[in-house]
Amino acid sequence: MKPEKINALITGGASGLGEATVRRIIDLGGTVTISDFQEERCLSLSDELGKNCVYSMTDVTNEESINKALLKSISNFGPINLVVNCAGIGVTNKVLSKEELHSTKIFEKVINVNLNGSFNVSKLAFSKMKDNLLDENECRGVIINTASIAAFDGQIGQAAYSASKGGVVALTLPLAREFARYNIRICTIAPGLFETPMMAGLPEKAYQSLVESTVFPKRLGKPEEYAQLVISIFKNNMLNGEVIRLDGSLRMAPK
């Protein structure tokens, strides 16, 4: 599949890993619909990137909202052949902290956004992609979800986040097997520690501690490296049903 023929919808596309992916696709000559809830940032980014980029305000927990974004992409640029799901939230709560138990409502919210949101986007994207014409490699489209190495190396305080990302990992193979009938591929990227807005707010001491925990390269990942992997998955027809760790061999400690 040729990158210049990409017509993508990127959830969480207004910042971080999603924004880097949007920029990479536009640089390669493709078209993108930014699907996010940060309206000011969406407007600024789409204006900067020009006619090959539009945005749609989206709540990944709401099927009507997702469907609206997909239809806007199709209306503007034609059939969608790539969906990248970067939308997600993170919280750090111990099950017992200062004599208070972990809020089940917070746990449910993280599951709803990270896991249910990934499922919602995947199934609705699939419902549109299955009607695409086959490309030169007999593929109709590619869906890429975003998990985390916390799915495998969850730390103390990450019960909700790790559970949600573990669910995204577990979704990958059954969806790939089902979507294969329609010549649609699905993979998941599990990033390690990356330079994202979430990391930017850390105190310097905490940030340096994270850098010290890395192996090689001795730094946090760059969002552009995530975007590069997205393009590699899109181009390689044999990548299907796979969860790829993108972490520089980092294995997180218990805390």
Determine the 3-state secondary structure of 21 from DSSP. helix
Pairing assessment for the beta strands 184-191 and 243-246 based on DSSP bridges: parallel
Q: How far apart are CA 192 and CA 216, in angstroms?
A: 12
Beta strand segments in 47-183, E: 53-57, 82-85, 96-97, 100-101, 141-146
| CA distance to 28, 87, 189, 246, per residue, from 228 (Å) | 11, 18, 11, 11
Q: How far apart are CA 95 and CA 149, in angstroms?
A: 20
Catalytic residues: 161
Q: Counting Cβ atoms within 10 Å, is residue 39 exposed (0-12), middle (13-18) or buried (19+)?
A: exposed
How many residues are recorded in the chain? 255
Q: Counting Cβ atoms within 10 Å, is residue 133 exposed (0-12), middle (13-18) or buried (19+)?
A: exposed
Q: Is the peptide bond before 79 cis (omega within 30 degrees of 0)?
A: no
Q: How far apart are CA 194 and CA 133, in angstroms?
A: 36
